Amino acid sequence: MAAGGLVVSGQTGDISCFHCHSKEVNDFQKSIHFNKDISCTDCHGGDIKISGDVVSIDVMHTNFTGAPSRVNMTEFCSRCHAEVTKTYEESIHWQKLKEGRVEAAACTDCHGTHNILSYKNPDSPTYSEKIPLTCAGCHENQTKMQAWYYGISTDRFDTYKKSYHYKAYVSGGGVLATCSDCHENHDTRPESDPKSAINPANLPATCGKPDCHQGANNAFIYGGKVHEGQSVYLGFIDAKKLVTYFYIIMILFELTFTIGLIVLGITSNFELRRRH
């Protein structure tokens, strides 16, 4: 892990990079990396022995690497987070990145850049309560998701909002399942991948995680259409539509009759006689 680096980011808070890169350093000072004594140079390179008194861009930027390209991002992070990077490189996000779809999610899209926070920090975009918003940032974006080479539906957050998982959480029931609990955080794979957590064959194991629906392992779970809400078909009729139409008619009927009869009743002599 991070060795040295103390000249640049010591406990005194004297960071020489700050003289020019004030915004970045301000952000960085809030991050978990700063708290663990990791310095700018651990990611960006450059000579840490040079003090702030020597103000020369050429000298300070020796061996400096600026922002990595999105495809080279993993090379930065894997210096410390080797294990997790390997897992991430199995994901659909990384595969698309490698194919040249630069908008696919890289490390920093979820974790942030300089202001990376622990997933246990409530302000972090990777905190369990914030995960739906983090994912929705891209997955609700029409332009990104509906590109001709993706065609991913953008209603994932909206459909999630209809689930008990979300409703119970918003009502103060503690955090139940969010996106990454079912889809995995680093090892996100499409449903069609046999290794995917949401592949129909793996759904019993995914739902039956020890902290979730234990004993779901033998459950009779059909298909993988959790967001859409799977229906039952009576021949060619969608049972969900049938139930909905039936109750829409019933409720309109009920409202019309109840309120109509109340109004008619109030004006009639029968009711007046009752209160004589």
Partner 1 sequence: MAELKFRRFTLNQRVQHIIFFTTFILLAYTGFPLKFPDEWWSKWMIESVGGFANRTFIHHYAGLLMIGVSVYHVVFHLLEKPRFDVLFNLKDLQDFQQQVKYYFRYTDEHPKFGRYTWKQKFEYFGAGFGAVVMGFTGILMWHPFAAMQYFPIGFIQIANLFHTWEAVLASLAVFIGHFYDEHFGKFPNMSWITGNISEEEMKHEHALEYEEALNNPELRINNNKNAGIDQVPNNVLIVTTKDTAQGESKTDQAPNNILILGLAKMVFTVVFLAICAWMLWISYLVLVEAVNTYIL
Q: Catalog residues that contact partner 1 under the rule CB under 8 A.
A: 164, 166-168, 170-174, 207-208, 213, 215-216, 218-223, 226, 229-232, 239-241, 243-245, 247-248, 250-251, 254-255, 258-259, 261-262, 264-265, 267-268, 270-271, 273-274
Closest to partner 1 by CB, 152 or 175: 175
CB of 167 to partner 1, least distance (A): 5
Instruction: Supply the minimum distance, in Å, between the C-beta of residue 241 and partner 1.
Output: 6
Nearer to partner 1, 48 or 197 (CB): 197
39 and 48 Cβ atoms separated by less than 8 Å: yes
Between residues 46 and 132, which has the closer beta carbon with respect to partner 1?
A: 132
Q: Which is nearer to partner 1, 131 or 226 (CB)?
A: 226
Q: Are 114 and 24 in contact (CB under 8 A)?
A: yes
Shortest separation between residue 207's beta carbon and partner 1, angstroms: 7
Beta strands in 32-184, from DSSP E residues, in sequence order? none
What is d(CA 143, CA 159) in angstroms, rounded to the nearest whole number?
A: 19
Q: What whole-number distance in Å separates Cα of residue 223 and Cα of residue 265?
A: 53
What distance in Å separates the CA atoms of residue 185 and residue 92, rounded to the nearest whole number?
A: 11
Q: How far is the CB of 38 from partner 1 (least distance, A)?
A: 39
51 closest CA partner among 15, 90, 86: 15
Query: Considering beta carbons, is residue 89 or 191 the nearer one to partner 1?
Result: 191
As measured in angstroms, the least distance from the Cβ of 271 to partner 1 is 7
Q: 129, 140, 107, 144: which is closest to 180 by C-alpha?
A: 129
Closest contact distance (angstroms) between CB of 146 and partner 1 is 19
Nearer to partner 1, 56 or 142 (CB): 142
Q: Which helix (H) or strand (E) holds 29?
A: helix 22-29
Calculate the CA dihedral of residues 207, 212, 213, 218 and round it to 10 degrees. Answer: 50
For residue 5, give Cα distances in angstroms to 18, 43, 85, 168, 242: 15, 11, 23, 45, 67
The number of angstroms, rounded, from the C-alpha of 237 to the middle of its chain's C-alpha atoms is 35
Q: How far apart are CA 259 and CA 173, in angstroms?
A: 37
The least CB distance from residue 50 to partner 1, in Å, is 54
From residue 249, alpha-carbon distances to 111, 121, 134, 208, 254 in Å are: 49, 49, 40, 39, 8
CB of 197 to partner 1, least distance (A): 16
Of the two residues 150 and 233, which places its CB atom closer to partner 1 in the complex? 233
User: Which of 51/230 has CB closer to partner 1?
Assistant: 230
